Amino acid sequence: MSGEIAQTFAKAKARGEGVLVAYAMAGDPDLPRSVDVFAALVEGGADIIEIGVAFSDPIADGPVIQGASERALKAGSTLKRVLDEVVPEVRRRCPQTPLVIMTYVNVIMAMGEERFAKLARERGVSGAILPDLPPEESEGLRATFDAAGVDLIPLCAPSTSQARAQGIASNARGFVYCVAVSGVTGMRAELPADLSQRLDVVRKASPVPVVAGFGISTEEQARTLSAHADGVVVGSALVRAAHADGPGAAKALCADIKRGLKR
Amino acid sequence: MTTETTVGRFGRYGGRYVPETLVPALLELEEAYAKASADPSFGEEVARVLKEFVGRPTTLTPARRLTESWGGAHVWLKREDLAHTGAHKINNTVGQVLLAKRMGKKRIIAETGAGQHGVATATACALFGLPCEVYMGALDVERQSLNVFRMRALGAVVRPVESGSRTLKDAMNEAMRTWVSQVADTHYVIGSAAGPHPYPSIVRDFQAVIGKELRTQALAAFGKLPDAIIACVGGGSNAIGVLHPFIGDKDVRLVGVEAGGHGLDSGQHGASLTLGTEGVLHGSRSLVLQDADGQIQEAHSISAGLDYPGVGPELAHLAKTGRMEVRTATDDEALAAFYEVARTEGILPALETSHAFARGRELARDLGKGKYLVINCSGRGDKDVATISARGVPPPVGVKS
């Protein structure tokens, strides 16, 4: 298992704060300028960078990330180019920040699971999140990733039963990604009332840190959740800010949310 | 006879590649379907509705003039076009909506390409009193306006989908996204024998009524099973429905015809069995049209129902193992077949079905005289008349111009 992710959570905890996992889409608006966005997220206080790799049929994503996917594909983004051109540059500019790839299973299959895992590790990727790969389908891929030292980070959902969530958590690598809302990625004004309780259950069963994601976009939400999770994931809000107003806006939003994570 | 190798898998294909949010719903559906299948009263209720409302069994019609014209095997047609709403799609929606009611679901969503599945879902929802929302690619909304009207008339909400290629694949993405956010009280009626497990099996089982009837009817009409059965393949629900009951009958040739679009070399087609590679789309591992980077390519077909870059996992397995022969027909060949069938048999086949007819002549000759070829007439062409007539109608038969 890669140690970078665990270290990052441990350091944040020692500083008395939750971890901010910040997502942006590689290749949006183009490959070089997306590197500027990733660097801005880290300047704004992001602890872990989630690098989105576009897929033509992103069934887990809402309109904001769908739109970013379409722009990235038009700009010629592919998994290979992200690993060759984006990851090394982000690594160079943000050497201390663990990088996690988020994409769909077909994109990984097309490259070849082993080839991806090896290349990813060589370029400095610590983990991967595949939102359309539930535990039933992930065993083989997880073994391949384990062998290469890339964490396959699992997801839990609001509809996941307690027993199933405990199973997912106890086998997790890197961290457990708890999907906060029933639905696709995107900002929500309100988070479900039972979210804290669900996070507590997963956290109790998990040997690795637990983060909440989907629907989170404000300092206030981060503050509420930081009592029940080791961190939060923010995606659509950052993608929208970067797209509308450039890297500086994404940096400022990261800083806001990071304030909410200080305990 | 089953080709299921382990639960939800057909050889290498199948599975359940969906967001975790949906997995509990798929497990619930799998369990509810197993219970319903084991309960004779469920099967009886489905059969009763199919008989009283859908008009089953559909007839097996001899195509005497096509037989004569093609000069080979006897040609017979399994007439799914005579089922209520005009296509085989209703077999599945009646079954799934009854299942959803048993599960206590409050509303139904569906995706549709040509609109036939949308109409069939809206019809079943009207019959059983459930609200219905249908996702349809904006391009398909334009080219299938008759079916859009029919769905609205039946009380359904039609939601045009503007993303991607604005066709069936994007409608399915949007339906899945919607389902993720409303999964607690909503059932998603998938219309193709595709999608995550258990859908490919459920859709196949409800559509297998076509092949089961055909077995009985063939034995009565020609005293033996057909020598070959031919069906068009988009996602593949009519094909798996008519072919599945014959998988174990090694002497029955099973033939699937895919959309050749502008030709296999043109890059504009829907031939995922012929030219697709292994991948994951809409929740199952199957053969899909994709580029080297794993991006799904846009399919093309003159027929909205075949305009899909994937195919059901069981058909992928049957094709890869050689049990099903796979052919293609281009847009132009399908159009020519449409007029040929219209003018020799008095039937306007759907453009989807016309692809199956387009390969009928060769197959009939290949089989030879004294053999029996059955073509699955999956739907009627009324919905396609705007598309077809836009290309101009050939002059009437027997009239000098």
B41 counts as catalytic: no
* CB-CB contact of A123 with A140 (8 Å): no
Please name the member of A109, A136, A182 whose beta carbon is closest to the beta carbon of B16: A136
What does the pLDDT look like over A49-68, one tens digit per residue?
Answer: 999 999 999 999 999 999 99
Give the list of residues 6+ apart from residue A18 with CB closer than 8 angstroms, or none: A12, A222, A225, A226, A229, A230, A231, A232, A261, A263
Residue B267 binned pLDDT confidence (cut-offs 50, 70, 90): very high
Structure tokens that stand for A63 in this block: 């309109």
Q: Which residues of A touch B184 (CB under 8 A)?
A: 159, 182
What backbone torsions phi and psi does residue B107 show, to the nearest 5 degrees? -150, 160
Contact state of B280 with A104 under an 8 Å Cβ cutoff: yes
Contact state of B19 with A183 under an 8 Å Cβ cutoff: no
- Has residue B400 got a pLDDT over 80? no
Give mean pLDDT, residues A236-243. 98
- How many CB contacts within 8 angstroms connect chain A with chain B? 123
Q: How far is B147 from chain A (nearest CA, A)?
A: 26
Contact state of A106 with B293 under an 8 Å Cβ cutoff: no
Q: Which residues of A touch B169 (CB under 8 A)?
A: 57
Give mean pLDDT, residues B5-26. 94
B345 counts as catalytic: no
Contact state of A106 with B290 under an 8 Å Cβ cutoff: yes
B162 counts as catalytic: no
Please give the residue of chain A at the shortest CA–CA distance from B281.
A106
- Has residue A2 got a pLDDT over 80? no
Q: Which residues of A touch B292 (CB under 8 A)?
A: 110
* CB-CB contact of A35 with A52 (8 Å): no
Interface predicted TM-score of the whole assembly (ipTM), two decimals: 0.95
Residue A1 binned pLDDT confidence (cut-offs 50, 70, 90): very low
What does the pLDDT look like over A7-29, one tens digit per residue?
Answer: 999 999 999 999 999 999 999 99
B176 at A interface, C-beta within 8 A: yes
User: Looking at residue B5, what is its pLDDT?
Assistant: 85
Give mean pLDDT, residues B47-61. 98
User: Looking at residue A139, what is its pLDDT?
Assistant: 94
* CB-CB contact of A217 with A196 (8 Å): no
What does the pLDDT look like over B352-374, one tens digit per residue?
Answer: 999 999 999 999 999 999 999 99
B146 or B108, higher pLDDT? B108
Q: How far is B53 from chain A (nearest CA, A)?
A: 35
- Has residue B392 got a pLDDT over 70? yes
**d(Cα B201, Cα B3) in Å, to the nearest integer?**
10
User: Looking at residue B399, what is its pLDDT?
Assistant: 79
- pTM for this prediction: 0.96
**d(Cα A28, Cα A46) in Å, to the nearest integer?**
19
Residues on A contacting B at a C-beta cutoff of 8 Å: 54-62, 66, 70, 73, 78-80, 104-111, 131-137, 154-161, 164, 168, 179, 181-184
User: Looking at residue A109, what is its pLDDT?
Assistant: 98
SS3 (DSSP) at B314:
helix
User: Looking at residue B3, what is its pLDDT?
Assistant: 86
- Has residue B318 got a pLDDT over 90? yes
Residue B143 binned pLDDT confidence (cut-offs 50, 70, 90): confident
What backbone torsions phi and psi does residue B239 show, to the nearest 5 degrees? -65, -50
Structure tokens that stand for B261 in this block: 């679009």
Q: How far is A123 from chain B (nearest CA, A)?
A: 19
User: Looking at residue B1, what is its pLDDT?
Assistant: 59
User: Looking at residue B398, what is its pLDDT?
Assistant: 86
Q: How far is A142 from chain B (nearest CA, A)?
A: 15
Q: Which residues of A touch B197 (CB under 8 A)?
A: none
Q: Which of B324, B354, B310 has its CA nearest to residue B256?
A: B324
What does the pLDDT look like over A182-203, one tens digit per residue?
Answer: 899 998 888 999 999 999 999 9
Structure tokens that stand for B291 in this block: 């580029």
B21 at A interface, C-beta within 8 A: yes
Supply the mean pLDDT for chain B: 96
Query: How far, rounded to the nearest angstrom, does the alpha carbon of residue B126 sit from its chain's CA centroid?
Result: 22
Give mean pLDDT, residues B149-165. 95
**Percentage of chain B modeled with pLDDT above 70:** 99
User: Looking at residue B401, what is its pLDDT?
Assistant: 59
